[in-house]
Amino acid sequence: MFVTRFAPSPTGYLHKGHAYSGLTAYAAARAAGGRFLLRLEDIDATRCRPEYEAAIYEDLAWLGLEWEQPVRRQSEHLAEYDAALERLIAKDLVYRCFRTRSELQNEFAAAPHGPMDAFRGAPLPPEEEAQRLAAGQSYAWRLSLAKAETLLGGFSHLTYFVEGEGWTAARPEVGGDVVLARKDVRTSYHLASVVDDALQGVTHVIRGVDLIDAAHVHRLLQALLDLPTPVYRHHSLVLGPDGKRLAKRDKAETLRSLRERGVTPAEIRRELGFD
Ligand code: GLU
């Protein structure tokens, strides 16, 4: 059975980019006679708000989407992500990273060898780590690519199927030693997303091409956690009048504002290439 999902984060109101992503997954589920799930990726307690969550339901229903109940809200499943993290800790595949954001930025400014998030590091010497723990310093858990590579004997045999491209070999190096548990919440987007896709039986992950690198990281996490690998499809992004992709932070016009000024769901669907 074909199962796909749309997984927005309730950190702002949805715009046409979200509409396109949700409609793409929904149409694919419909075409395959499969299931469409909505999942709320709300682990970031400081940025997620109940009114954005309510607006997601309202805006997607307005667009004509239907999804299964109950909706999985990641904030209610932290224990499950924790269990996955514990398995990685037990296998010694993660390490504590005490670096602050500004320390990371300074390191990258000094040695610009890649994007911020392609960080590669190593555990601290045990005495220093013990001191920092005793001092109550907070830390993130990062995946050790070096350890994972040794355990698996390289990554090139980790393949996954990308619609429109075919079989692809995972290159988790693009993500570096990703954070799997943040300082403020004991999970991260990568860990929660991979655990949930498996737990919800997602067979097809359909999301924007901006998350193309995430698939490389997710394929590795699936191997390390013995989880199945779905098929991936990366759709194009909706661009604004300036030719840049729509983004919450650039104040892209929200679906609710379009609705308020009289735009209909049918018009939006047509403009985005549906119907
Ligand atoms: N919560 C993610 C976002 O809003 C979705 C990522 C995914 O579909 O895996 O970008």
pLDDT at 148 exceeding the cut of 60: yes
Give the residue, out of 5, 9, 18, 204, with the most ligand 1 atoms within 8 A of its beta carbon, to mutate for a pocket test. Answer: 9
Residue whose CA is closest, atom 5 of ligand 1?
Answer: 7
Sequence-distant (6+) residues with CB within 8 A of 84 are: 191, 194, 195, 225
What are the structure tokens assigned to 196, written together? 């949930």
Q: What is the pLDDT of residues 66-83, one digit of tens each?
A: 999 999 999 999 999 999
CA 115, 159, 82: angle at the middle one, nearest 5? 65
pLDDT of residue 243: 84
pLDDT of residue 105: 81
Compute the 3-state secondary structure of the chain and give helix, strand, coil in percent, each to the nearest 5.
45, 15, 40
Diameter of the chain by CA atoms?
A: 64
For ligand 1, whether the C-beta of 7 sits within 6 Å is yes
pLDDT of residue 250: 72
Distance 64 CA to ligand 1 centre (A): 20
pLDDT at 114 exceeding the cut of 80: no
Question: What mean pLDDT value characterizes the chain?
Answer: 94
Q: Look at the block and give the residue holding tokens 């989407």.
A: 65
Give the residue, out of 5, 26, 52, 193, with the most ligand 1 atoms within 8 A of its beta carbon, to mutate for a pocket test. Answer: 193
Sequence-distant (6+) residues with CB within 8 A of 202 are: 3, 4, 5, 37, 196, 230
What are the structure tokens assigned to 84, written together? 């996955």
Tell me what the mean pLDDT of segment 125-135 comes to. Answer: 97
Cβ proximity of 248 and 210 under 8 Å: no
Residue whose CA is closest, atom 7 of ligand 1?
Answer: 7
Q: What is the C-alpha to C-alpha distance for residues 127 and 36, in angstroms, rounded to an integer?
A: 50
Residue whose CA is closest, atom 6 of ligand 1?
Answer: 7
Q: What is the C-alpha to C-alpha distance for residues 31 and 236, in angstroms, rounded to an integer?
A: 19
pLDDT of residue 71: 98
Distance 147 CA to ligand 1 centre (A): 27
Sheet with strand 159-162: strands edge to edge = 72-73, 35-40, 3-6, 204-208, 231-235, 159-162, 166-169
pLDDT at 111 exceeding the cut of 80: no
Burial 144-174 (b: 16+ CB within 10 A, else e): bbebbeeeeeebeebebebeeeeebebbbbb
Among the residues of 136-275, which ranges form H helices?
145-152, 189-199, 212-224, 255-260, 265-271
What are the structure tokens assigned to 103, written together? 């320390």
Distance 158 CA to ligand 1 centre (A): 22
Lowest mean pLDDT among 58-72, 198-212, 240-254: 240-254
Q: What is the C-alpha to C-alpha distance for residues 93 and 73, in angstroms, rounded to an integer?
A: 27
Residue 241: pLDDT band (50, 70, 90) is confident
Residue whose CA is closest, atom 3 of ligand 1?
Answer: 8
236 vs 103, more confident? 236
Distance 188 CA to ligand 1 centre (A): 12
Give the residue, out of 43, 189, 197, 206, with the most ligand 1 atoms within 8 A of its beta carbon, to mutate for a pocket test. Answer: 189
Q: What is the C-alpha to C-alpha distance for residues 275 and 271, in angstroms, rounded to an integer?
A: 9
pLDDT at 113 exceeding the cut of 60: no
Residue type, 20: Y
Antiparallel, parallel or unpaired: β 35-40 and 72-73: parallel
pTM confidence score: 0.94
Which atom of ligand 1 is nearest the CA belonging to 197? 9
Q: What is the C-alpha to C-alpha distance for residues 56 and 62, in angstroms, rounded to an integer?
A: 10
Phi and psi angles of residue 112, each rounded to the nearest 5 degrees, phi first: -75, 80
For ligand 1, whether the C-beta of 41 sits within 6 Å is yes
